[in-house]
Amino acid sequence: MSDVDLSQLRALAAVVDEGSFDAAAAALHLTPSAVSQRIKALEQSAGRVLVRRTKPTEATEAGHAYLRLARQVQALVQDVRLEVDPTEQRPPTIPLAINGDSLATWVLPALASLAGTAYFDVRREDEGRTAELLRSGTVMAAITSDAAPVQGCRSTRLGTMRYRPMATPDFVAEWFGDGVDVATLSRAPVVVFDRNDDLQDAYLRQRSRRRLAPPRHHVPASSQFAEAIALGLGWGMLPKEQYEERERGGLLVDLDPGGHVDVTLHWQQWALQTPALEATARAIKEAAAEHLT
C-alpha cells in the first residue's frame, strides 16, 4: 500500500456521509468527477473496492477501516488547529452511539456539562448494536453491551442497568390476577421498543423454558415506551429512572417482584486520544458511576 493522501480520505468520508458522489462534491466544493478520481485513486492505493456505488453510497468492509482512519485524521487535524488558534476554530464534533434508555435517562446531563467545548452527533442505537457503528468508523465512541473492544478501540465497564417488569395496577389485576406464570405471560400484552429489543423476551426466557409469544405493541421511542406502559397498553421492562417516580405514586407496580434483567454497559472509544474525546469519556464515566450499579 502506498502513502495515503489526506484529500482522498476526506473524499471517502464525504461520499459515505453525504450518500452520493454529487452530494459529496457539493460538500467539498469540488466537481463530482474530482471526487470520483480521488476515490478511485484511494481504491487503487488500497488494492480493493472501498465504496459501494449504491443509493445511498456505502463503505465496504475494507472501506470501513479507511473511513475510521479518515475520521481519526480529521479529529487530529481539528484538535491541532484548535490548539494553535482557539479563536479561529469551532469546538470539535464528537459522533457517539448511545442506546435509547441511557440517552433518555442519564447521558444527556453528562453531555450538557461539556456544552461549549464540543458538539455531539448522537446516533441512537440498541446497546447490542452500537459497537457496529464503531467498527464502521461512523462514531468515535459508543455505549455498548459488548465488552470485547472493537479493533482500534479501548473498552471500559460502566456498570449495570437493571430492568424490572412494570405495569399499571389495573393491568396487573386484569391480566395477572391469578399470578405471574407461563399461561398469563403468554396472554398478557407486552410493550417492546422495536424489533431489536430483546429485554422483554429475555425476561420471558427466564420465566419459561419454551418460547412465549404474547401479543405485542411496538413503541420505538424511550420516553413514549415508558408512557405506553404507564397508560396501561401492556407490561414492559423499565430501568429505575423510568419507573421510580411512577411507582412511588402508585401508577406502576412490579408485576413480578424479584424478576429482573440486568444489562451491563461498556464505554468503547477510539484508542486515539484527543482532549475533547477524553473529556467526553470522563463525563460519561462519572455519570455512569452515579446512575448505574
List domains and CATH numbers for the chain. 161-263 (3.40.190.10)
Express as a percent the part of the chain with pLDDT over 90.
62
The residue type of 26 is A
Instruction: Give yes or no for a contact between 153 and 72, defined as CB atoms under 8 angstroms apart.
Output: no
Q: What pLDDT, on the 0 to 100 scale, is given for residue 124?
A: 86
| 62-103 tens-digit pLDDT | 888 888 888 888 888 877 777 777 766 678 888 999 988 899
| DSSP label of 105 | I
Per residue in 27-64, pLDDT (tens digit) is: 999 999 999 999 999 999 989 999 999 999 999 988 88
pLDDT of residue 2: 58
**Least confident piece of the model among 114-118, 189-193, 246-250:** 114-118
- The SS3 of residue 99 is coil
Cα-based distances in Å from 207 to 168, 177, 194, 212: 20, 17, 21, 9
Query: Does the pLDDT at position 128 exceed 80?
Result: no
**168 Cβ neighbours under 8 A, 6+ residues apart:** 229, 230, 231, 232, 251, 252, 253
Q: How many residues does the chain have?
A: 293
pLDDT beyond 60 at 1: no
pTM for this entry: 0.79
**How far is 119 from 111, CA to CA, in rounded Å?**
9
Grid coordinates representing 139?
Answer: 462514531
Q: Is 231 a residue whose pLDDT tops 70?
A: yes
Binned at pLDDT 50, 70 and 90, residue 283 comes out as very high
User: What pLDDT score does 88 carry?
Assistant: 60
C-alpha cell, 6: 489526506
Average model confidence (pLDDT) for the chain? Answer: 90
pLDDT confidence bin for 152, thresholds 50/70/90: confident
User: Over the stretch 186-213, which tens digit does the pLDDT of each residue have?
Assistant: 999 999 988 778 899 999 999 887 889 9
pLDDT of 276: 87
